RNA sequence: GGGCCCUUAGCUCAGUUUGGCAGAGCAGCGGACUUUUAAUCCGAAGGUCCUGGGUUCGAGCCCCAGAGGGCCCA
């Protein structure tokens, strides 16, 4: 944190002096509690209701509180714009009404929390106002707020000091509030379908369930290494083995990888597992869920997105991976089953070939470059190659494919789902193949989780599983292009 | 990892074209004002021009290196 400049130190000193001035007037600059009777929106509503009823003004006294966003002192009368989480309200206050406490006006700074009490009126210019006859400091702000008109523009400060962003940028606050509503709406949807919400370990001996590098830490009490989870999958499936038929978790996962416009090292996933369901059932649930959440949160299934819109009205498009690659690349990918042949295909199509990559990464590259960007409206891409899906069940008619879909929206992967692999023998072979890939240099390959295999050996019913990125869902529903704008405190390099 | 852009007062930004005294608005400070709402009016202040080197009589500006941030690509 950079040291405060001399100018800023002067400003802080001035503000501390005004806190002392409040004490001299018999007011505590930091009283323990507020005596407010109405939020600012409630106070306004009280007046409007009374006006609607034909009364000139409500006779009920109001004590309201909030942050002083503007102070207009006209000499013997002053206007203070207060703001709380419900809205804003103008306080009108006169020297005559306040008496000795009029001196408090000079002790106020922008950013201070203030309480005002009196009757609701309409000012001469028509502004619904609280005509206060009592004023009381609630909390002195020692540091000045950002400039009021433009708000805080500096991207770095907006992320590092999010409270200043929230304080001054209404749009940023609304976006982050919507994120919370998205998560609440998702919980309502899952709960109503009979899922129970569970919590599984974030500290794991071997982080599994996804292809990603984990964060490493140490558990002192047991003197053992631990990894932060990269997915929720393997523990939730243990619960299906145990007999919970519908479980979900909305939780933070951690991937020690890049930071970018759609990537933050910690992000929030929904995962759900439903016994006796398959990936088609999961797709139907995702359609219903996104329809409901969009309707609850935004009020429509047609959402503005960049220059156009995204339509979450079911049913979503469904296309198999085989057909999609045929359409956008022009080949049957099953005929390119060696590293050599798919490398040649990538070269032919002008896709950069990552060095030392196995078949799975090369295939992923092909699809990421040529197929996924095409999928702007919600589209289920179905039936993935088994090589990049070590936890999914093979399709009945082609053992090279698995019953898996990813849902793409706006060209982004939003969700990933399988008919879960519940054959412990096949699962062990898949893990061993992953270990071989790891030995060949793929440090994102799955580790063999012996306890998870033991659980599968006790028998897991046919199960449909889902993973869905809540941050990206929040981005889609708020029309934000940067994940940092839907995460309250995105990761940043430490200051200094 | 690569490319491009940004960093000047507490905040929002000019100033870089063509090297020549460091600028404005808001906020703050002093004063005026009993219906304002980006209040208005008068006055006086306020700077690590991101950091470190270099070129030059002279660098916010040109050159080199670095830091932080943003965007795009991998």
Using the C1' atom of nucleotide B26, identify the protein residue whose alpha carbon is closest: A147
Q: Which among A145, A174, A206 is the end of a domain?
A: A145
CA of residue A109 to C1' of nucleotide B28, angstroms: 10
DSSP string covering A40-77: HHHHHHHHHHHHHTT-SS--S-EEEEEEEEEEEE-SSE
CA of residue A167 to C1' of nucleotide B21, angstroms: 39
Closest-approach nucleotide to residue A351, Cα vs C1'? B74
Closest CA to A254 of A239, A245, A242, A265: A265
Verify that A102 and A230 share a domain, yes or no. Answer: no
Verify that A104 and A8 share a domain, yes or no. Answer: yes
Verify that A209 and A136 share a domain, yes or no. Answer: no
Cα separation, A10 vs A4, in Å, equals 10
Closest-approach nucleotide to residue A3, Cα vs C1'? B48
User: Residue A33 burial (CB < 10 Å; 0-12/13-18/19+)?
Assistant: exposed
Cα A324 to the chain's mean position, in Å? Answer: 30
Verify that A197 and A245 share a domain, yes or no. Answer: yes
Verify that A180 and A46 share a domain, yes or no. Answer: no
**A150 inside domain:** no
CA of residue A352 to C1' of nucleotide B2, angstroms: 14
Confidence at residue A1, expressed as pLDDT on a 0 to 100 scale: 46
Domain count of the fold of chain A: 2
Looking at residue A260, what DSSP letter applies? B
Cα Rg of chain A, angstroms = 29
Verify that A412 and A296 share a domain, yes or no. Answer: yes
- Cβ(A314)–Cβ(A288) under 8 Å? yes
Closest-approach nucleotide to residue A354, Cα vs C1'? B74
Look up the pTM and report it.
0.93
Please list the pLDDT of chain A residue by residue as tens digits (496 residues).
Answer: 456 888 899 999 999 999 999 999 999 999 999 999 999 999 999 999 999 888 777 889 999 999 999 999 999 999 999 999 999 999 999 999 999 999 999 999 999 999 999 999 999 999 999 999 999 999 999 999 998 888 899 999 999 999 999 999 999 999 999 999 999 999 999 999 999 999 999 999 989 998 888 999 999 999 999 999 999 999 999 999 999 999 999 999 999 988 888 999 999 999 999 999 999 999 999 999 999 999 999 999 999 998 889 999 999 999 999 999 999 999 999 999 999 999 999 988 888 888 778 888 889 999 999 999 999 999 999 999 999 999 999 999 999 999 999 999 999 999 999 999 999 999 999 999 999 888 887 777 888 899 999 999 999 999 999 999 999 999 999 999 999 999 999 999 887 5
Verify that A140 and A213 share a domain, yes or no. Answer: no
Host domain of residue A114: 3-145
Written as six digits, the tokens of A28 are 């505590």
**A341 inside domain:** no
Q: Which among A116, A145, A174 is the end of a domain?
A: A145
- Cβ(A408)–Cβ(A378) under 8 Å? yes
Written as six digits, the tokens of A396 are 């009945």
Which bases of strand B sit closer than 7 A to a protein CB?
9-13, 25-29, 32-39, 46-48, 67-74
- Report ipTM for this prediction: 0.91
CA of residue A151 to C1' of nucleotide B70, angstroms: 18
Cα A239 to the chain's mean position, in Å? Answer: 26
CA of residue A315 to C1' of nucleotide B28, angstroms: 59
**A434 inside domain:** yes
**A492 inside domain:** no
**A440 inside domain:** yes
Using the C1' atom of nucleotide B38, identify the protein residue whose alpha carbon is closest: A149
CA of residue A493 to C1' of nucleotide B65, angstroms: 21
Distances (CA, A) of A382 to A163, A210, A419, A463: 43, 18, 11, 17
Closest-approach nucleotide to residue A373, Cα vs C1'? B73
- Cβ(A328)–Cβ(A228) under 8 Å? no
CA of residue A496 to C1' of nucleotide B49, angstroms: 20
Q: Which among A145, A179, A202 is the end of a domain?
A: A145
**A337 inside domain:** no
Verify that A263 and A395 share a domain, yes or no. Answer: yes
Closest-approach nucleotide to residue A144, Cα vs C1'? B10
Verify that A59 and A175 share a domain, yes or no. Answer: no
**What CATH number is attached to the domain comprising A53?**
2.40.50.140
Written as six digits, the tokens of A223 are 């003197």
Verify that A277 and A424 share a domain, yes or no. Answer: yes
**What CATH number is attached to the domain comprising A214?**
3.30.930.10
User: Residue A24 burial (CB < 10 Å; 0-12/13-18/19+)?
Assistant: exposed
Verify that A209 and A297 share a domain, yes or no. Answer: yes
**A158 inside domain:** no
Sequence-distant (≥ 6) Cβ neighbours of residue A94 within 8 angstroms = A76, A77, A78
| Sign of the alpha-carbon dihedral angle for A453, A459, A464, A466 | negative
**A270 inside domain:** yes
């Amino acid at each position: 944190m950079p040291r405060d400049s001399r100018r800023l130190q002067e400003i802080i000193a001035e503000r501390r002096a005004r806190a002392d001035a409040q004490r001299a007037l018999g007011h505590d600059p930091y009283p323990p509690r507020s005596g407010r009777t109405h939020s600012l929106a409630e106070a306004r509503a009280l007046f409007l209701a009374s006006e609607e009823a034909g009364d000139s003004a409500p006779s009920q006294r109001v004590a309201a509180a909030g942050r002083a966003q503007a102070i207009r002192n006209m000499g013997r009368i002053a206007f203070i714009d207060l703001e709380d989480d419900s809205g804003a309200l103008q306080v009108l206050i006169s020297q005559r009404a306040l008496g000795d406490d009029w001196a408090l006006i000079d002790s106020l700074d922008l950013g201070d929390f203030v309480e005002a009490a009196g009757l609701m009126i309409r000012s001469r210019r028509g502004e619904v106002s609280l005509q206060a006859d009592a004023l009381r400091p609630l909390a002195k702000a020692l540091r000045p707020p950002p400039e009021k008109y433009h708000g805080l523009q500096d991207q770095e400060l907006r992320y590092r000091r999010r409270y200043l962003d929230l304080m001054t940028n209404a749009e940023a606050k609304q976006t982050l509030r919507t994120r919370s509503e998205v998560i609440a709406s998702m919980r309502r949807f899952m709960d109503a379908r009979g899922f129970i919400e569970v919590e599984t370990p974030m500290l794991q001996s071997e982080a599994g369930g996804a292809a990603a590098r984990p964060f490493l830490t140490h558990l002192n009490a047991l003197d053992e290494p631990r990894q932060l989870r990269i997915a929720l999958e393997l523990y939730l499936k243990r619960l299906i083995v145990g007999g919970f038929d519908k479980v979900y978790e909305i939780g933070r996962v951690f991937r020690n990888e890049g930071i970018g416009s759609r990537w933050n090292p910690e992000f929030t996933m929904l995962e759900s597992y439903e016994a006796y369901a398959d990936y088609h059932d999961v797709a139907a649930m995702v359609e219903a869920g996104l329809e409901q959440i969009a309707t609850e949160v935004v009020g429509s299934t047609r959402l503005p997105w960049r220059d156009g819109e995204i339509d979450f009205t079911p049913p979503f498009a469904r296309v198999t991976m085989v057909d999609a690659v045929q359409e956008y690349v022009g080949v049957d990918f099953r005929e390119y089953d060696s590293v050599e042949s798919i490398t040649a295909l990538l070269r032919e199509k002008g896709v950069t070939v990552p060095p030392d990559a196995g078949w799975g990464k090369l295939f992923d590259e092909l699809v990421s470059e040529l197929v996924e960007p095409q999928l702007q409206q919600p589209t289920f891409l179905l039936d993935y190659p088994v090589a990049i899906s070590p936890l999914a069940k093979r399709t009945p008619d082609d053992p090279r494919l698995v019953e898996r879909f990813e849902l793409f929206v706006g060209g982004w992967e939003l969700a990933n789902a399988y008919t879960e692999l519940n054959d412990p023998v096949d699962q062990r072979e898949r893990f061993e193949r992953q270990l071989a890939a790891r030995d060949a240099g793929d440090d994102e390959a799955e580790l063999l989780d012996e306890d998870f295999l033991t659980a599968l050996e006790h028998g897991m019913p046919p199960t449909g599983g889902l993973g869905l990125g809540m941050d990206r869902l929040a981005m889609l529903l708020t029309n934000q292009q940067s994940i940092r704008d839907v995460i309250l405190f995105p990761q940043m390099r430490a200051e200094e």
